Structure 1
Amino acid sequence: MTTHPAGPLSAAPARRRLSPEPYLYLLPHAVLFFVFTVYPIGYGLYISLHRWDLLNPEKAFVGTEFYRNLLSSGTPQSEFFWRTLLNTTLFTVVSVPLLVAAALGLALLLYRPIFGRSFFRAVFFLPGILTVSVMGILWRWMFDNQIGLVNAARELLTGAPPIPWLSTEGLAWVPIVVGTVWWTVGFNMTLYLAALGNIPSSLYEAASLDGATPGQQFRFITWPLLGPQTLFVFITTALASFQLFGQSLVITAGGPNRSTQSVIQYITEEGFTNAQISSAAAMGFVFGLMMLILTAAQFRIMARDAREGGAA
């Protein structure tokens, strides 16, 4: 018999027994995921394919009728859904660059060893703990057409008559955008402060010895090294902006003439005010699919950026 230095050759290693212990640890999360994610999505899809009436126990199957309404010109659902989606996209296009630029600017200012740095960091971060209702009421009062603080200050300084901010299309976006930037810029600022702390100071010292100006140091050191954080901030801020709801609801109630109504606000109106639950469910699925595609594209960009950074 052939032997091995450590002993006789044994047969093939025994197959490992499948232990149920890891699956028991995963079971609570799996149950919650199914109950609060999988089941609501499936039930919502079922509702969107039936004519759902809370007063009628018979739920007639209508197939893709409510989805076709969104793609057929002339239907109220198509007109208002795409119009409010355009409103939400406009808000995102305007607010995201402001939130990124303001957060980066504040982080650069407050990263320096200035007097009261911790106090100012807290001042810019604290608005983020307010609820959207409190934030909305505050900025609605500040931009009120008659007694708002902005119009009062403008009249005091220039003597000009008040501007009807909340009842003028186009101008009604100003309190929403400005209030949102004030409300949420602190979180992005904190992310940038943490990223700035990870940049080695030796890079700036070497650049100073080579005669680089502060602008050149920002261009060739700070900005490139903040690339991953900037991409992350941009993606998360864009996704949050597409979820616009409370600001436009409280500040302008979606007006005037639905010019500031967000798509989520209209879906809520369709389902709970108009009692068109199936139509609202179809709109929710279409909008959710759009957000899923957008998120996948953004994560693809992040993955490509990470690979390029690793290769470098």
Structure 2
Amino acid sequence: MTITQASARTSTARAPTPRRRVPLEPYLYLLPHALLFFLFTVYPIGYGLYISLHRWDLLNPVKAFVGSEFYRNLFTPGTPQADFFWKTLWNTTFFTMVSVPLLLFAALGLALLLHRPIFGRIFFRAVFFMPGILTVSVMGILWRWMFDNQIGLVNAAREVLLGAPPIPWLSTEGLAWVPIVIGTVWWTVGFNMTLYLAALGNVPISLYEAASLDGATPWQSFRFITLPLLAPVTLFVFVTTALASFQLFGQSLLITNGGPSRSTQSVIQYITEEGFTNAQYSSAAAMGFVFGLIMLIFTAAQFGLMARDVKGGEG
């Protein structure tokens, strides 16, 4: 071994290993969001779970640990919590099953009409979108007045045009859903319509021209070109609309107040009643966690559909 090789090996062996420096700047940028996320999400969830496992009484400083008692009440037939919770959950599910298809088809139909070069289409787009800027309180009061049993505009129009007696919309089970569903569709269809209009604007016109040259009818062009290209937007609209419908609260509270006989009371409305009206905070917290778990399962299933759709589109 030569002197040069030995000195090179010695210098290589003595060379210090550079220490990897961890940058702190990205974590500093994330710190404000992390603090807010912990303060307004993680801490309330943990505190709510703690409340659901204790007998919570604001006037009693001692909060007795009861474990899963309030969760068991929800699955024990005959208890008021089980009866009302599952009844209102079914009410919410029924509203979702009725309102979501209406919002999908109405939004798509309006988008197809207003995508055409018709006179005043900008005006009509604004007209259908503007109800969405109203608050739920304004919307609820408006549709409660529209379907009032005695002085409502709907009953007045029936009496003037048809000579028919007034219908007790708000005090009849089944019919009480009519103003809630119609009002919700009128209130929120504009947002979905805007999504469809944006998606229709991205469909290449050359596809329709090629289909026309091949002798395709308008229905065939819609079925084999428009609908497949709108599938991702349709799935997104379905997921977001379904999640929003499961959060039904203001419409049923303001239009029917959950009546008659709790037939239109939503599950969130009942949880609010249990906590803030009946002062059963532990029971309300347990209901909130069970409902949240149901929503989590439903959301996971929807995201699974979206992921499968994306993979299918890539293939």
TM-score after normalising by structure 1: 0.96
- Do structure 1's residue 148 and structure 2's residue 152 form an aligned pair? yes
Shift of 1:264: 0.1
Instruction: Give 2:168's aligned residue.
Output: 164
Give 1:209's match in structure 2, choosing from 201, 210, 213. 213
Distance 2:17 2:302 in 1: 46
Q: Could you list the per-position Cα deviations for residues 124-169 of structure 1 after superposition, in whole angstroms to 9, with x for gaps in the alignment? A: 0000000001000000000001111111111111111010000000
Give 2:290's match in structure 1, choosing from 267, 286, 291. 286
Instruction: Give 1:103's aligned residue.
Output: 107
Give 2:120's match in structure 1, choosing from 116, 121, 126. 116
Distance 2:106 2:180 in 1: 16
Instruction: Give 1:200's aligned residue.
Output: 204
Give 1:256's match in structure 2, choosing from 260, 271, 279. 260
**Alignment: residue pair count:** 306
- Do structure 1's residue 55 and structure 2's residue 37 form an aligned pair? no
- Do structure 1's residue 39 and structure 2's residue 46 form an aligned pair? no
Instruction: For 1:219, give the aligned amino acid.
Output: R
Q: 3-state SS of the aligned residue for 1:147? A: coil
- Do structure 1's residue 277 and structure 2's residue 277 form an aligned pair? no
Instruction: For 2:211, give the aligned amino acid.
Output: A
Q: CA RMSD in A?
A: 1.5
Instruction: For 1:76, give the aligned amino acid.
Output: P
Give 1:125's match in structure 2, choosing from 125, 129, 139. 129
Instruction: Give 2:187's aligned residue.
Output: 183
- Do structure 1's residue 236 and structure 2's residue 240 form an aligned pair? yes
- Do structure 1's residue 221 and structure 2's residue 225 form an aligned pair? yes
Distance 1:204 1:195 in 2: 15
Shift of 1:13: 7.9
Shift of 1:17: 1.1
Shift of 1:223: 0.4
Q: 3-state SS of the aligned residue for 2:301? A: helix
Instruction: For 1:196, give the aligned amino acid.
Output: L
Instruction: For 2:301, give the aligned amino acid.
Output: A
Q: Could you list the per-position Cα deviations for residues 44-82 of structure 1 after superposition, in whole angstroms to 9, with x for gaps in the alignment? A: 000000000011110000000000000001100000000
Shift of 1:32: 0.3
Distance 1:28 1:144 in 2: 49
Q: Could you list the per-position Cα deviations for residues 258-293 of structure 1 after superposition, in whole angstroms to 9, with x for gaps in the alignment? A: 000000000000000000000000000000010011
Distance 2:106 2:16 in 1: 64
Instruction: Give 1:5's aligned residue.
Output: none
- Do structure 1's residue 75 and structure 2's residue 86 form an aligned pair? no
Q: Which runs of 5+ in 2 are unaligned?
A: 6-10
Instruction: For 2:161, give the aligned amino acid.
Output: L
Instruction: Give 2:22's aligned residue.
Output: 18
Shift of 1:15: 5.0
Distance 2:201 2:164 in 1: 46
Q: 3-state SS of the aligned residue for 2:167? A: coil
Shift of 1:16: 3.0
Q: 3-state SS of the aligned residue for 1:297? A: helix
TM-score after normalising by structure 2: 0.95
Shift of 1:211: 1.4
Distance 1:276 1:145 in 2: 34
Distance 1:14 1:129 in 2: 58
Shift of 1:252: 0.1
Instruction: For 1:101, give the aligned amino acid.
Output: F
Shift of 1:9: 9.1
- Do structure 1's residue 247 and structure 2's residue 231 form an aligned pair? no
Question: Which has the larger Rg?
Answer: 2
Q: Could you list the per-position Cα deviations for residues 171-227 of structure 1 after superposition, in whole angstroms to 9, with x for gaps in the alignment? A: 000000000000000000000000001110100111111111111110010001100
